[in-house]
Amino acid sequence: MKPESPLRRLAIAGGLALALLVAAALAMTVGPGEFSLGEVLRTLATELGGGEVDRRAHGILWELRLPRVLLAVLVGASLGAAGAVTQGLFRNPLASPGVLGISTGAAAAVVAGFSFGLDERALWATPVLAALGAVAMLGALFGLTARRQDLAYLLLTGVALNALAGALSTVLLAIFLDRYDLAQKAMAWMMGSFDGRGFRHLSWASLPLLAGLAGAWSLHRPLDVLVLGEETAATLGVERGRLRLGAAVVVGLLVGTSTAIVGVIGFVGLIVPHLARAAATRAGRGLAHARLIPLSMVVGAALMLAVDTLGRAMSPTFLAPGALTSLLGGLFFLWLLRRETEVG
Each of the 344 residues of the chain gets a pLDDT tens digit; together they read 445 566 766 777 777 788 888 888 888 998 777 788 888 888 888 888 877 778 888 888 888 899 999 999 999 999 999 999 999 988 888 888 888 888 888 889 988 988 888 877 776 788 888 888 888 988 888 888 877 766 678 878 888 998 999 899 889 888 887 787 787 778 777 888 888 888 988 988 899 999 999 999 999 999 999 888 888 888 888 888 888 889 888 998 898 889 888 888 888 988 999 988 887 765 545 568 888 999 999 999 999 999 998 888 876 556 788 888 888 888 888 888 787 666 55
- 11-to-16, 72, 77, 81, 165 alpha-carbon distances in Å: 9, 25, 20, 22, 44
Q: What pLDDT score does 305 carry?
A: 92
Closest among 13, 143, 85, 122 to 273, alpha carbons compared: 85
User: What radius of gyration, in Å, describes the C-alpha atoms of the chain?
Assistant: 20
Max CA separation in the chain (angstroms): 66
pTM: 0.87
Contact by Cβ (8 Å): 223, 154: no
Helix ranges (H only) for the chain are 6-27, 37-49, 55-57, 66-90, 102-115, 118-121, 125-145, 151-175, 180-190, 199-218, 220-226, 230-235, 240-262, 268-282, 289-313, 321-343
Residue 291: C-alpha distances to residues 23, 25, 56, 81, 265 (Å)? 22, 26, 42, 11, 24
Q: How far is CA 231 from CA 88, 90, 92, 184, 237, in A?
A: 16, 14, 17, 49, 10
| CA atoms in the 13 A half-sphere facing the CB of 201 | 25
Q: How far apart are CA 288 and CA 221, in angstroms?
A: 9
Query: Exposed, middle or buried, 188 (CB in 10 Å: 0-12/13-18/19+)?
Result: middle
Q: How many CB atoms lie within 10 A of CB 319?
A: 17
Predicted confidence at residue 39, as pLDDT, reads 86
CATH tag, 72-343:
1.10.3470.10
How confident is the model at residue 284, as a pLDDT? 46
Q: How far apart are CA 340 and CA 268, in angstroms?
A: 19
Cα-based distances in Å from 292 to 31, 154, 295: 33, 23, 5
Tell me which residue of 201, 188, 189, 171 sits closest to 103, measured CA to CA. Answer: 189
Q: Are 91 and 231 in contact (CB under 8 A)?
A: no
Q: What is the pLDDT of residue 156?
A: 84
Cα separation, 209 vs 82, whole angstroms: 11
Note the pLDDT of residue 19. 82
Contact call for residues 136 and 105 (beta carbons, < 8 A):
yes
- Whole-angstrom CA distances from 83 to 42, 71, 87, 95, 117 are 37, 18, 6, 8, 31
Domain boundaries, the chain: 72-343
